[in-house]
Every structure is written in C-alpha cells, then in structure tokens.
C-alpha cells in the first residue's frame, strides 16, 4: 500500500515565507522604535536632572550675592583685596583682566582669562554668561581657628575688611567669616561635550571644585526696581546692568536660564527653527541633531550690600 506524505507545495512555501518576513520586519521595526523611544526618554531625563542640579547650585549662590553678614556701612574697598593679590601672582586667573578687584559681576565669556585653568581640549563658550560671586560663608570662625593660607572677612556693623589668615585685622567686636569667590562658566570639548564649571577661590588659589556635564550655556537676566517699590519692573540682560543699579540697590531679582545639551547627536531629531524657538533667550544652531533641555527660574536677591563691575 502506498502512503502519500502531505507537505507544502511551492506556492504555499512562498506565501509562508512572505508572511514570516512581514512578521519579522514588523517585530524588528517595533523593537527599533521601542529602543529609540527608550534612548530618547533616557536622554531627556538625564538632561533634566543635570539642568536641575546646575540650576539649584546657581540659585543658592545668586541668592547670596553681596552677602556681608552684619556689615551695613559704606564702601567695600578692602573686601576684594585678597583675590586681587592672588591673581597678581600669576597662574590660573578666573576673572576678567578688567575686573581683577571686583566683588560680584557678570560678563560675556569671551572677556574671561582662563590661561592655566581649563583642562586639555576644553574651550570657554563665547555666547554664554560668566558669573562671578563674592560673599562670605555663613559660618563664624574663631580667631584661633584661622588658617594662615585662608582668606577671610572681618565684619562689624560699620566696618569690613578682607585679610589673609596670617595677619588679623584690628577691628573692634569684629566677627570673622570665610571669604568665598565663585566663578561659573560653561566650556566645550570636541568629543567630551559641554559642561558647567565652578572655580572657587580657596587657600589663595582658584580650584575647579564643581562640574555638571552636558550644560551648554547659562544666562542671567537681572530684575531692576526702577521706582523703589521693592519689585522688579523689568528684567535686563547682563550687558545692560550698570554699577549704579547695584550700588543704589535697584537689583532685586535674577532670572536664571540653564540650557542642557546631550553629549551625542540624535540623527532622528530635526532641530530646525521651529524646534529651537522654545530655547529663547538662547539661539542654538539649526540641524545639528543635538537634543536640548531648557530650565529656568527666578530668585529674589535680598542683600542690602552689593557691588558689581562690568
């Protein structure tokens, strides 16, 4: 007896192969789309976290601009002297040459001298603000605990002066606070991407003590009280702020912008003019395929003693 064996004929085989191919392409496309979506979500989440960290640090420092504790007298000519002396000795200089004796200020990145400061391959971002903050840290230091290499400010209600720890000033009933000078700026690297750095003036030298990766630019607009009611009537870019505005206590707030940028390009992203419109006051380049995230906030400045040099 002959037994017939069932199987696929040529037509059925071709149909099954086509169906299998379609299913495989669908599954592959779904897998790729899921992976792209996951990578995009991860990138956005990372940018958001880094922007939040950078903004948090800037807010805390900007809020304390011009903080000289109990001092309410006139003039702060002695306060920046410790920094000015150190800069004259050479080495890393994280202040503009024209602001060697400033206390707090803000300027364009191109005006900053960074010789000996930046790591190999990094360059300062020309179209990002650079922020200088000088103030005291809110910790009173006993005269016996003063370090000879440290920089301090002796403060009474009517007098304030900076000094090196090796020479204590003669100010009656003065309290001693550590002197802080921070410089914030963004820098770029061809392969490492962008980052926000903070150089702190510690023990007579500038030290890079804070870095947040993937921060492309920062910008700070100051709120100006032009009628004396204690509220900001307008927000002005740093280039429009004058010494008179600071000295007459017209600067009452600051609006801080932080722009984060992914380290690697996303070729699925079309960041054209429409995409970049959301990043005002920044103007990122079109069609560079970098994903970005903008974060901003407004902080009130309440210190009654502030000084700035443009």
The pLDDT tens digits for 184-196 are 889 899 888 999 9
Q: Quick one: which of 296, 298, 106, 246 has its CA closest to 183? A: 106
List, in sequence order, the alpha helices (H) in 3-94: 10-63, 81-88
* Residue 134 token pair: 């000088």
Is residue 247 domain-resident? Answer: yes
Is residue 35 domain-resident? Answer: no
Which residues span the domain enclosing 244?
43-300
238 Rama sector, left if φ>0, alpha if ψ -120 to 50, beta otherwise = alpha
Q: Give the per-residue pLDDT at 8.
A: 65
Is residue 171 domain-resident? Answer: yes
If one counts the domains in the chain, the total is 1
Looking at the chain, how many residues does it have?
Answer: 310
Q: Report the chain's mean pLDDT, rounded to a whole number.
A: 77
* Residue 102 token pair: 């400033």
Is residue 18 domain-resident? Answer: no
Is residue 12 domain-resident? Answer: no
Centroid of chain to Cα 225: 25
Is residue 95 domain-resident? Answer: yes
Evaluate whether 155 touches 175 at the Cβ level (below 8 Å): yes
Is residue 307 domain-resident? Answer: no
Is residue 211 domain-resident? Answer: yes
Distance CA 143, CA 141 (A): 6
* Local structure of 130: helix, strand or coil: strand
Q: What is the reported pTM?
A: 0.77
- pLDDT tens for 114-162 read 667 788 888 888 788 888 887 788 788 888 888 887 888 888 877 777 7
Q: pLDDT per position in the chain (310 positions), as tens? A: 565 556 667 777 788 788 888 888 877 777 676 766 667 677 788 999 999 999 999 998 888 776 777 766 655 544 543 444 444 444 566 765 444 334 445 444 445 556 677 888 888 887 888 888 877 887 888 888 888 878 888 888 777 777 878 888 888 888 888 888 888 889 899 888 999 999 887 777 778 888 899 999 999 888 999 888 888 999 988 778 777 777 677 888 889 999 999 988 888 888 887 777 788 888 888 888 898 999 999 998 876 444 333 2
Q: Which neighbouring-strand residues pair with 178?
A: 152
Name, in order, each residue with C-beta under 8 angstroms of 296's C-beta and a sequence gap of 6 or more.
55, 255, 256, 257, 258
Q: Which neighbouring-strand residues pair with 153?
A: 162, 177
The sign of the CA dihedral 53, 57, 62, 64 is positive
* Residue 189 token pair: 């690297």
């Amino acid at each position: 007896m002959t037994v017939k064996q069932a199987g696929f004929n040529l037509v059925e085989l071709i149909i099954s192969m086509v169906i299998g191919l379609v299913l495989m392409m669908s599954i592959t496309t779904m897998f790729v789309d899921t992976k792209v979506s996951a990578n995009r979500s991860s990138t956005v989440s990372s940018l958001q976290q880094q922007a939040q960290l950078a903004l948090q640090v800037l807010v805390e420092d900007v809020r304390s601009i011009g903080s000289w504790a109990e001092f309410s007298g006139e003039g702060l000519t002695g306060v920046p002297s410790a920094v000015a002396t150190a800069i004259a000795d050479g080495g890393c200089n994280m202040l503009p040459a024209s602001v060697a004796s400033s206390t707090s200020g803000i300027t364009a990145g191109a005006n900053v001298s960074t010789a000996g400061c930046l790591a190999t391959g990094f360059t300062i971002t020309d179209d990002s603000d650079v922020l200088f903050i000088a103030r005291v840290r809110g910790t009173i230091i006993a005269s016996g605990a003063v370090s000879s290499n440290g920089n301090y400010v002796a403060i009474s209600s009517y007098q304030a002066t900076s000094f090196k720890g090796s020479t204590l000033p003669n100010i009656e009933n003065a309290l001693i606070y550590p002197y802080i000078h921070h410089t914030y700026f963004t820098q770029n690297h061809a392969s490492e991407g962008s980052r926000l750095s903070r150089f702190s003036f510690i023990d007579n030298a500038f030290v890079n003590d804070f870095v947040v990766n993937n921060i492309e630019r920062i910008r700070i607009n100051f709120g100006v009280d032009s009628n004396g009611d204690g509220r900001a009537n307008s927000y002005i870019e740093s280039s429009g702020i004058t010494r008179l505005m600071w000295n007459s206590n017209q600067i009452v707030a600051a609006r801080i912008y932080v722009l984060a940028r992914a380290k690697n390009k996303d070729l699925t992203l079309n960041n054209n003019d429409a995409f970049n419109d959301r990043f005002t006051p920044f103007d990122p380049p079109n069609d560079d395929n970098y994903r970005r995230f903008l974060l901003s906030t407004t902080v009130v400045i309440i210190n009654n003693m502030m000084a700035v040099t443009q």
